[in-house]
């Protein structure tokens, strides 16, 4: 009998590829999540920080009122080292970030002092008993003034205000000289925040029984946080346990060690009792998560058909005042340099990328990392090139995309594209959005006077980067592998332990689907243990769309490693050859015989007399390490297209339609893949149209509440339509590639492309995010003036 004909086999509902509802949703929908803000603990103190009101100043004197207790300045934090995020990049300058400002302040909102009390309000009152005298220093808000400065540098010991500068030159002069067409453009992405629903949160206490510092942190990377806390508090790592409970979104904000986390850990270590700090929204907007501020000068060299021969780019990133630990400013800088060419096959490339220090909060690696910026710059350059050569924007792209027969393809920056059909994905997106229909519609004026435009973009998403890739960005973190531990319980359930952290990605479901595919255990009977350094294998954590490929790959391998023993025991119990035994729907099946998995597990744990003599004593529990076949990462890719309506009277932009054709290899759960993409696209729409943290010339942030900082809500996110390609990666388990960041990469490129398409008759091009009504009206007015 074939397995598919067996009476116990139901339709495949749970394994790889099933659109399963997320297990974890029930808990959250019923308000049963376990967030740090909801925790209570006897004798807990709440912590508040006094923050700098100035962007750049020396601390001349500090005075603490006599009645002030439990108040701390940098000097009071004995035994704590400054957070030093080092890098192996040769040009990199190290910024030592003290847990509390020392000697000078470098951005508005920088923590200068800390206080604790029974309530947050009382702790905030205590911080007001501290007086600080500041001597103003010149403030560097923009990259040009910061890079030009020769005195009063942001870090006194530096030679200039540049964190790091990288460059590449591959056959540029030779190929640029052959060009018939040269197109130059500038693009700018404004600084913005990251705004997960839950901000930074940390609770630390001393476990007297274990003689251990326990830190609950809202983090994506619990093991790294443990390493960092131990390093900067000068403790042994086994004396520190980090638990990351439910986390209300991370998006990259929570993959670094924050100074507030270090301070709270220090309090718990010092006073041996519980302390907690919860960042409020205003702190988050002013001093927390800052990202995206990129500036581009792009020159494309092409032939008359728009085939790109060479690209010259200058990229400047506003890195803020400090490099964060462990993902330094070198990461964003290296990613920008390496990923700018996108999915295109040109051969001449010259690029300089600088990350400049300014008096703004530290730059953090937001979802998509540098790729949202480089996709914006590259795709707007493609649009400009298409206009220049008089072709449709997609025709020029199809001319330049890496072709399927070229796969696997090593591009001009040595990226190893593993598999896929990039032109087919663009053609499918054009079909779904009805590009020809849009062109016909544009022949006639819209009844409401709005202008219609079509935008397209194709990008690659390097995911699951390997060891060598991270080494190229100078980070000390080595993320090219992961471990998983898998144990069958005596009643046939399964426990999976992983070091990555799921905080919205749905891994409690998708990792269970992987195990179900191999072992046939009901997903409801599989528990994912994550977010606790005391209970899970070491991992650098969740970021860079790495969890499925690395940690999910380890889960797959671990489940496969359980198989021989399971087969041996099951075969013995059924009187069948072990090699015949397969597992499905909670059953072990051999030909027309079957027994429940629970019976097999029970035999191993509780009925040794039933076991075959040669059973492996490793039993039904394994811990397995995994790395993909190559360490260059796997490359997902995607084409997105949108139709927008631009109102030239009000400057508003409405997204009328949005389509996505993505390929992340084999999908474990297509519903989760779509959810990840939709979330990312919503964030990308925010970058494109709404989100900005402006600063005045004194470095004062002008958006400090959600009344001034606009985020897209449900009404600003259109109904997004999908198609999926599934080209397996040759390098990973199941051929899966990462997808978590992808959605956020293309929307600014797509939306600006569409707006510029709508405005093409007016001779206006926009290229600065976010495209607020004000900016759009200004551009239209300039267009009218220019005639
Ligand atoms: N998946 C799948 N099939 C694939 C690829 C992925 O079913 N071929 C599923 C995975 O099993 C997993 C999810 O999609 O459940 C995302 O997997 P992956 O692409 O490996 O990304 P990570 O799990 O490593 O998540 C990190 C990524 C990043 S870098 C950011 S930033 C981000 C993101 O995920 N932050 C998020 N998505 C987020 N989603 C939420 N809700 N909250 C965040 O903070």
Does 782 share its domain with 635? yes
Q: Which atom of ligand 1 is nearest to the CA of 738?
A: 19
Contact 543, 252 (CB under 8 A): yes
Buried-state track 584-599, b at ≥16 Cβ within 10 A, e below 16: bbbbbbbeebbbbbbb
Confidence of residue 6 (pLDDT cuts 50, 70, 90): very low
Span from the CA of 421 to the centroid of ligand 1 (angstroms): 23
Q: Do the bridges between strand 308-318 and strand 348-356 make them parallel or antiparallel, or are there none, so unpaired?
A: parallel
Peptide bond into 770 cis (omega under 30): yes
Q: Residue 416 has which token pair?
A: 């190893």
Span from the CA of 502 to the centroid of ligand 1 (angstroms): 8
Span from the CA of 230 to the centroid of ligand 1 (angstroms): 28
Domain contains 111: no
Does 489 share its domain with 613? yes
Helices (H), 62-211: 120-127, 143-148, 172-176
First to last CA, the chain: 79
Q: Supply the DSSP symbol for 355.
A: E
Domain count, the chain: 2
Does 546 share its domain with 651? no
Lowest-confidence segment of 20-24, 299-303, 522-526, 782-786 by average pLDDT:
782-786
Mutate to test the pocket of ligand 1, among 35, 247, 676, 729 (most ligand atoms within 8 A of CB): 676
Domain contains 763: yes
Compute the distance between CA of residue 309 and CA of residue 313 in angstroms, rounded to an integer.
Answer: 14
Model pLDDT, residue 1: 35
- For 744, the domain range is 371-465+631-786
Does 605 share its domain with 648? no
Model pLDDT, residue 466: 84
Last residue of a domain, one of 605, 626, 647: 626
ipTM: 0.99
Contact 452, 644 (CB under 8 A): yes
Does 490 share its domain with 542? yes
- Asked whether the CA dihedral 657, 684, 477, 249 is positive or negative, the reply is negative
Q: What is the pLDDT of residues 433-475, one digit of tens each?
A: 999 999 999 999 999 999 999 999 999 999 888 888 777 788 8
Choose among 608, 528, 557: nearest CA to 734.
557
Domain contains 664: yes
Domain contains 117: no
Q: Write out 727-750 in H/E/C secondary structure.
A: CCCCCCHHHECCCCCHHHCCHHHH
Does 616 share its domain with 497? yes
Confidence of residue 4 (pLDDT cuts 50, 70, 90): very low
Compute the distance between CA of residue 702 and CA of residue 705 in angstroms, rounded to an integer.
Answer: 9
Confidence of residue 5 (pLDDT cuts 50, 70, 90): very low
Task: Please calculate the CA angle 325-700-153 and round it to the nearest 5 degrees.
Answer: 55
Q: What is the pLDDT of residues 665-707, one digit of tens each?
A: 999 999 999 999 999 999 999 999 999 999 999 999 999 999 9
The secondary element (H helix, E strand) that includes residue 660 is strand 653-663
Does 596 share its domain with 672? no
Phi, psi of 333 (to 5 degrees): -65, -45
Mutate to test the pocket of ligand 1, among 516, 542, 548, 634 (most ligand atoms within 8 A of CB): 548
Q: Supply the DSSP symbol for 338.
A: H
Does 618 share its domain with 635? no
Residue 546 CB–ligand 1 contact under 6 Å: yes
Residue 742 CB–ligand 1 contact under 6 Å: no
Domain contains 518: yes
- Asked whether the CA dihedral 282, 266, 202, 507 is positive or negative, the reply is positive
Last residue of a domain, one of 579, 596, 626: 626
At residue 654, the 3 state secondary structure works out as strand
Q: Whose CA is nearest to atom 40 of ligand 1?
A: 504
CA 322 to chain centre: 19
Percent of the chain with pLDDT over 70: 98
Contact 386, 395 (CB under 8 A): yes
By residue count, the chain amounts to 787
pTM of the model: 0.96
Q: What is the CATH number of the domain that holds 27?
A: 3.30.365.10
Domain contains 757: yes
Residues 6+ apart with CB under 8 A from 11: none
Residues 6+ apart with CB under 8 A from 76: none
Does 590 share its domain with 679? no
CA 509 to chain centre: 20
Q: What is the pLDDT of residues 327-362, one digit of tens each?
A: 999 999 999 999 999 999 999 999 999 999 999 999
Last residue of a domain, one of 626, 641, 669: 626
Domain contains 508: yes
Does 668 share its domain with 559? no
Q: What is the pLDDT of residues 33-58, one digit of tens each?
A: 999 999 999 999 999 999 999 999 99
Q: Which atom of ligand 1 is nearest to the CA of 734?
A: 8
Contact 268, 378 (CB under 8 A): no
Residue written as tokens 């002013």? 286
Does 781 share its domain with 661? yes
Model pLDDT, residue 8: 38
Q: Do the bridges between strand 526-529 and strand 494-498 make them parallel or antiparallel, or are there none, so unpaired?
A: parallel
Does 444 share its domain with 488? no
Helices (H), 390-490: 393-400, 422-433, 435-441, 467-472
Model pLDDT, residue 12: 59
């Amino acid at each position: 009998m074939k397995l598919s004909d067996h009476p116990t086999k139901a339709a495949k509902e749970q394994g790889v590829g099933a659109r399963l509802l997320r297990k974890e949703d029930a808990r959250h929908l019923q308000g049963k999540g376990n967030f740090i803000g909801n925790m209570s603990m006897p004798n807990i103190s709440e912590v508040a920080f006094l923050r700098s009101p100035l962007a750049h100043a020396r601390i001349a004197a500090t005075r603490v009122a006599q009645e002030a207790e439990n108040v701390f300045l940098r000097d009071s934090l004995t035994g704590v080292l400054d957070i030093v995020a080092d890098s192996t990049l040769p040009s990199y300058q190290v910024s030592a970030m003290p847990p509390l400002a020392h000697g000078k302040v470098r951005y508005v909102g920088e923590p200068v002092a800390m206080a604790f009390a029974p309530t947050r309000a009382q702790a905030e009152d205590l911080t007001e008993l501290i007086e600080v005298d500041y001597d103003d220093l010149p403030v560097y808000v923009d990259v040009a003034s910061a890079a030009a400065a020769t005195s009063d540098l942001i870090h006194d010991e530096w030679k200039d205000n540049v964190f790091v500068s990288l460059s590449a030159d591959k056959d540029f002069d030779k190929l640029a000289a052959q060009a018939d067409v040269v197109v130059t453009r500038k693009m700018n992405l404004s600084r913005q925040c990251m705004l997960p629903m839950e901000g930074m949160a940390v609770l630390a206490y001393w476990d007297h029984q274990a003689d251990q510092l326990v830190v609950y942190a809202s983090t994506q990377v619990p093991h790294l946080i443990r390493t960092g806390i131990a390093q900067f508090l000068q403790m042994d790592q086994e004396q520190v346990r980090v638990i990351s409970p439910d986390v209300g979104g991370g998006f990259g904000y929570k993959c670094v060690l924050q100074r507030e986390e270090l301070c709270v850990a220090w309090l718990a270590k010092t006073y041996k009792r519980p302390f907690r700090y919860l960042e409020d929204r205003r702190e988050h907007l002013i001093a927390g998560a800052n990202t995206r501020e990129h500036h581009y000068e792009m020159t494309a060299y092409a032939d008359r058909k728009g085939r790109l021969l060479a690209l010259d780019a200058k990229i400047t990133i506003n890195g803020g005042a400090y490099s964060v630990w462990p993902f330094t400013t070198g990461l964003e800088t290296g990613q920008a340099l390496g990923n700018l060419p996108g999915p295109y096959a040109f051969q001449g490339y010259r690029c300089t990328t600088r990350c400049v220090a300014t008096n703004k909060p530290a730059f953090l690696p937001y979802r998509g990392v540098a790729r949202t910026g480089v996709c914006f710059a590259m795709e707007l350059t493609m649009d400009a090139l298409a206009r220049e050569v008089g072709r449709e924007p997609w025709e020029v792209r199809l001319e330049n995309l890496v072709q399927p027969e070229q796969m696997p393809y090593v591009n001009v920056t040595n990226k190893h594209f593993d598999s896929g059909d990039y032109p087919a994905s663009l053609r499918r997106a054009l079909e779904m959005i009805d590009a020809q229909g849009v062109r016909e519609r544009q022949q006639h004026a819209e009844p409401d006077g709005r202008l219609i435009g079509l935008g397209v973009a194709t990008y690659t998403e390097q995911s699951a980067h390997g060891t060598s890739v991270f080494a190229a960005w100078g980070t000390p973190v080595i993320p090219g592998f992961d471990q998983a531990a898998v144990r069958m319980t005596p009643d046939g359930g399964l426990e999976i332990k992983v070091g990555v952290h799921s905080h919205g990605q749905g891994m409690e479901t998708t990792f269970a689907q992987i195990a179900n595919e191999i072992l046939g255990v009901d997903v409801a009977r599989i528990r994912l243990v994550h977010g606790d350094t005391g209970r899970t294998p070491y991992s650098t954590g969740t970021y860079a769309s790495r969890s499925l490929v690395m940690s999910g790959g380890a889960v797959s391998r671990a489940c496969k490693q359980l198989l021989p023993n399971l087969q041996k025991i099951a075969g013995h119990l059924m009187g069948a050859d072990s090699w015949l035994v397969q597992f499905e729907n909670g059953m072990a099946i051999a030909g027309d015989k079957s027994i429940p998995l629970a019976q097999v597990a029970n035999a191993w744990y509780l009925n040794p007399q039933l076991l075959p003599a040669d059973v492996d004593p490793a039993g039904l529990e394994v811990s397995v390490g995994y790395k993909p076949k190559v360490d260059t990462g796997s490359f997902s890719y995607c084409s997105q297209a949108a139709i927008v309506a631009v109102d030239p009277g009000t400057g508003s932009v409405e997204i009328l339609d949005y389509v996505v054709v993505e390929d992340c290899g084999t999908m474990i759960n297509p519903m989760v893949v779509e959810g990840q993409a939709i979330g990312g696209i919503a964030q990308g729409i925010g970058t494109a149209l709404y989100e900005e943290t402006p600063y005045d010339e004194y470095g004062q942030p002008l958006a400090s509440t959600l009344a001034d900082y606009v985020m897209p809500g449900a009404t600003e996110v259109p109904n997004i339509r999908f198609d999926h390609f599934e080209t397996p990666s040759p390098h990973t388990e199941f051929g899966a590639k990462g997808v978590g960041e992808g959605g956020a990469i293309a929307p600014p490129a797509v939306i600006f492309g569409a707006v510029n398409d709508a405005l093409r008759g007016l001779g206006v091009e926009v290229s600065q995010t976010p495209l607020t009504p004000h900016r759009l009206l200004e551009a239209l007015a300039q267009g009218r003036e220019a005639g």
